[in-house]
Amino acid sequence: MKRRQQPLRLAFSCSALLLLGGCLDVPHPFAHSGKNGPGLATNAPPARLDVPTPPNALLSDANASLWAKDVAQALLQQTIPAIAQPTRKGDWWLNMRAELRNGQVVPIYTVMTPKNTVRATQEGQPVPVEQWSAGNGPFFTLVAQDAASRIAAVLTGIQADDMDKDPHSLKHRAARVYFTGVTGAPGDGNTSLAQAFAASFRDSEDTIQNSAKNADFIVSTTVKLTPGPAGTTGHPQEHIEIVWHVVDANGKEAGAATQLHDIDAHSLDQYWGDVAVAAAQEAAAATKQIIDRYSGRDNAPLAAPGTSKPAPAAPATTPAPAG
């Protein structure tokens, strides 16, 4: 007697959908799509942010250099390609300085364009003068971490502003997505998952196209089954892992959605049915989220200097006293 496929036997709950990849948490203000697309914005910053040693830091030369190096390192951890070096022609750069206010030192960070015009300014968390003057390595590491989150927020706003002004950016059009299909699934899984994903993605604001030419993003899917734990009633189990990889036009990973579950062994050896539909619907929604976060099209633009307050910074940890 033929065993009836149990609908939604493979329950891909929200908790089982793991969104992987730094792009989901960190802005990519310098990203561009290269020759195959117009890019996120026609006036996006180049792939480098110079961080020169500040001359007006209220610090010794050695500590001013340490501050610049620590800020550059903290920005790298935010996926911003910053380099502690003198300003180079054609580069965006970070003008850092410090001011005395009511017995405290306020670090000030100004993002400068290659034409040496102010694009945005953010103030860091004030610290007592004594701490600033006697600062050591751990102290400036904390100061830099505070700075990096604020600067990253500003750069994200700058990118969003440029995208707003660019009629070809993803703020003003659907993302072009090329889906390469599914590999590694047993039974009719490769076909069923692919068809269900394409059908689910039609409900998205983005579009699936038939070739990789001029695609903004490429999605590919792999399925892997491995022996799982023994079933509660003595039936063997299998562990299934479905990974939906998303890369940009240059092949750089934008993110990945991973679905994990334990199933009855061989239950998907023939027909996937509703399992494919459930998995594909969640994957389509996750893919759209990856595209939204990676492209930055949902980010709020940063207004030009003097027209509004700077974008709010993320909460920061208060630097501990030096010593």
Q: Could you write out the DSSP letters of every residue in 13-56? A: -GGGEEEESGGGTS--TT---GGGS--S-TT---S-EE-PPPSS
* Mean of pLDDT values over 5-14: 40
Please determine, for residue 94, whether its predicted confidence score (pLDDT) is greater than 70.
yes
For residue 170, CA distances in Å to 38, 182, 217 come to 10, 26, 12
Maximum Cα–Cα distance across the chain: 84
Q: What share of the chain in percent tops pLDDT 70?
A: 77
What fold is seen in the domain 14-22+175-295? Double Stranded RNA Binding Domain (3.30.160)
Per CATH, 14-22+175-295 and 49-165 having the same topology is answered no
Please determine, for residue 208, whether its predicted confidence score (pLDDT) is greater than 70.
yes
Confidence of residue 224 (pLDDT cuts 50, 70, 90): very high
SS3 content of the chain, % helix, strand, coil (to 5): 30, 25, 45
Instruction: Considering only residues 27 and 60, tell me which one the structure prediction assigns the higher pLDDT.
Output: 60
15-29, 115-129, 165-179 — which is least confidently predicted?
Answer: 15-29
- Give the relative orientation of helices 274-295 and 189-201 as an angle to the nearest 10 degrees: 50
Q: Has domain 49-165 been given CATH number 3.40.50?
A: yes
Q: List the domain boundaries for the chain.
A: 14-22+175-295, 49-165
The span from the CA of 147 to the CA of 106, in Å, is: 11
Confidence of residue 83 (pLDDT cuts 50, 70, 90): very high
Please determine, for residue 14, whether its predicted confidence score (pLDDT) is greater than 60.
no
What's the confidence (pLDDT) of residue 305? 59
What's the confidence (pLDDT) of residue 279? 93
Residues 6+ apart with CB under 8 A from 116: none
E-assigned strand segments in 92-175: 92-101, 104-112, 118-123, 127-128
Please determine, for residue 56, whether its predicted confidence score (pLDDT) is greater than 50.
yes
* Mean of pLDDT values over 291-308: 69
Instruction: Considering only residues 95 and 103, tell me which one the structure prediction assigns the higher pLDDT.
Output: 95
* Mean of pLDDT values over 67-89: 92
Please determine, for residue 322, whether its predicted confidence score (pLDDT) is greater than 90.
no
Strand 104-112 relative to strand 92-101: parallel, antiparallel, unpaired? antiparallel
Q: What share of the chain in percent tops pLDDT 90?
A: 49
32-46, 163-177, 222-236, 241-255 — which is least confidently predicted?
Answer: 32-46
Q: What is the mean pLDDT of the chain?
A: 79
Please determine, for residue 296, whether its predicted confidence score (pLDDT) is greater than 70.
yes
Going by C-alpha positions, the residue among 211, 282, 269 that lies closest to residue 240 is 269
Confidence of residue 78 (pLDDT cuts 50, 70, 90): confident
Question: Mean pLDDT: which of 2-6, 54-58, 113-117, 305-309 is highest?
Answer: 54-58
Please determine, for residue 314, whether its predicted confidence score (pLDDT) is greater than 60.
no
Please determine, for residue 226, whether its predicted confidence score (pLDDT) is greater than 70.
yes
What's the confidence (pLDDT) of residue 304? 60
* Mean of pLDDT values over 117-134: 91
